[in-house]
Structure 1
């Protein structure tokens, strides 16, 4: 199996131009997200059901493919996904780390004759041709299941999800040490991005994989029609860029925005994919030292944080202060609001705060990153305590 792909600089196009007439060569808003969630659903059905997409029948009129009915409540039927399968390979960027189910799909697709056929021009007008492709699709699903057993993918996925428990333990230890030594003033924040961009230098080129016989697999600019669509901001789908933005935000604390960090006792930041913004975004907790920072100072500090995020993202950064939630008073009345100033030694208040923080950072809401720039890239970071 051979691969050939070009760097961003080799397939970038000038601002305002298009790769082909009517085609942008970039990800239109929502396209990446749709493929991402469809692949999750597909692999869930492959790994956790025994359904086969088609029944293949041979009779005097030739070969026919008949869709199998949905047999597993709550899971996607594999029938009908034949025409979508080849698009999911667009999610594969060489050099990135993927969750075990995603990596299984990419590896099996790129080595399979089914993948080579689906990424090659063909005439699908013949029922016999479509039936032959359906039979290959069945074989591809069987190949995924066999390889999943060899790789013990289910166990790997369990271990991947269990990482949330390790994160919860680390966060609890971190905030306990901070709270025991300080009077803390917490602020919970969300950092995210504008949905679309005005210039293509802020976008992620969309590449297609194509099988080219003796030359193997090639990556070429996408021909997906996006002429009437808005272009997605790169950082919403590329975790490598989002992590660079995070590193810049917390770097050089003695610089122009030093007053934001001067009396920050600690911080927690986690990159997730999905949620309200359906894209890469950060959950952030700032923990200020209440000996120097009061509630009246928070608006100024929050504005400093907003502006700093806007600067490091090149003007694409957006933010949300959780104090602006419409249900704060209701949550406080129910004893569920844990972000008031913390009094050192108030165990009941601390427990409420800890539960709030753990819900925010470690509840499994299907937002764990399935794509990272490397295996060791950290989605969760915590500030070094002074």
Structure 2
């Protein structure tokens, strides 16, 4: 496999912002007793800043600050664009959590921060005297130097290449899979359902208590990063309090049972799933089901039927579901759910963009219950359609 050579290139702000929002939509999502989705506050907005910072550290050799003498006094002045991250460093550490796994470059950033004197700086003024008698700007320069030296020592470039290649393989596999489905079917009906557990649904008082819990956890994580190693930590502490093995077994049960439920799954031609984790709700399952669009029409009805099957049969009353097709308006013009036609390139692009987040959700930050637990997969690749019959006519395939 050819290694990616451009992972250190600075990514577009919009892509990183979307990644941060996508992370927030999962990590801070809870459901109330009626099944309504609620987003709590979460410290993900600093993700784009951290990524851009580590990219610049490893792709350049410049120092953040240089020093001049003014009025017989040493003064720090910016020497490169890295200097602007001095004031942002405290904000960048808000992304840290002991619950998360990070891409190698981000993990190295947090490891070095915890071991470096930079964690003792105020980071409010580069010309402020540091505890060691120099300027805080000099400590920041040394922190960047340490990052680069450690990056060379652990070969962070290769690690990032390997990490990114694995994510790219998920994305390529997804693209091949969906394209193969479209080659066999002129129209696909895409039904997106989130499958959860009632124990993870909260009443109003629990939601307010959860907000306070998240604030306390964020504070404890920061204290731990800044040197207080005595703070206790329970990586499995969530409101839901159930083992991910329960979700894995229910997922297997769902897909194995499809053959015995032809009234619902007879015209299903594929699926994509991902296990997600939220800080309060615990583990849950996101699934996109693909049906033959020439055989089924009522996508929202199908979503409700699948969700109710999850509740009544698979989880025997323990489950709950969120039918995304029932709430299309909240996605605006950004997501291709419902009927998607072979020739509708615009809607297919929106579909792939949305599904791509399931494949690439762990690009920078993720939670994995165990080393051997798969978080993402698709159905079996469909057999190639025989090249017979008349070619598809575009005008008849594109929906109004």
Compute the TM-score of the two structures, normalised by the length of structure 1. Answer: 0.57
- Count residues with an aligned counterpart: 312
Q: Which moved more, 1:132-141 or 1:190-199?
A: 190-199
Q: Do residues 382 (structure 1) and 392 (structure 2) align?
A: no
SS in 2 for 1:288: strand
1:40 aligns with 2:51: yes
Alpha-carbon distance between aligned partners in 1 of 2:349 and 2:272, rounded to the nearest angstrom: 15
1:164-197 CA distance string (max 9 Å, x none): 5422442355446656777874315375999997
1:255-303, CA deviations, whole angstroms, 9 ceiling, x for partnerless residues? 9x96655653321134799xxxxxx998743122568x5214x231122
**Distance (Å, rounded) in 2 between the aligned partners of 1:378 and 1:104:** 24
Identify which of 219, 224, 227 aligns with 2:231.
219
Cα distance in 2, alignment partners of residues 364 and 212 from structure 1: 29
> 2:112 aligned to 108, 114, 123, which one?
108
8 Å CA contact retained: 1:270, 1:361: no
SS at match of 1:217: coil
In 2: Cα distance, 1:185 partner to 1:46 partner:
45
SS at match of 1:128: coil
How far apart in 2 are the matches of 1:242 and 1:45? 40
Offset from partner CA, 1:22-78 (integer Å, 9 cap, x none): xxxxxx9444112333322322232233343333457887654x2416548xxx832
- Matched residue, 2:221: 208
Partner of 2:36: none
Q: How does 1:167-186 map to 2 (within 5 A)?
A: 167-175=170-178, 185-186=188-189
Asked whether the 8 Å contact 1:184–1:341 carries over to 2, the reply is yes
Contact 2:123-2:136 at 8 Å conserved across structures: no
**In structure 2, what is the equivalent of residue 294 of structure 1?**
296
Q: 3-state SS of the aligned residue for 1:44?
A: helix
169-178 vs 304-313, which deviates more? Answer: 304-313
1:225 equivalent in structure 2: none
Q: Which shows bigger deviation, 309-318 or 164-173?
A: 309-318
Q: Distance in 1 between matches of 2:355 and 2:225?
A: 45
Contact 1:67 1:79 in 2 (8 A): no
Aligned partner of 1:79 in structure 2 is: 86
* 1:135 CA drift (Å): 1.9
Give the Cα separation in 1 of the matches to 2:380 and 2:359: 27
Q: Which residue of 2 aligns with 1:372?
A: 366
Contact 1:210–1:218 under 8 Å retained in 2: no
1:321-360 matched pairs, under 5 angstroms: 340=339, 358-360=352-354
The equivalent residue for 1:198 is 207
Q: Is the 8 A contact 1:271 1:380 kept in 2?
A: yes
User: What residue in structure 2 maps to residue 138 of structure 1?
Assistant: 141
TM-score by length of 2: 0.55
Taking the aligned partners of 1:322 and 1:162, their CA distance within structure 2 comes to 34
Q: Is the 8 A contact 2:340 2:348 kept in 1?
A: no
Counterpart for residue 227 of structure 1: none
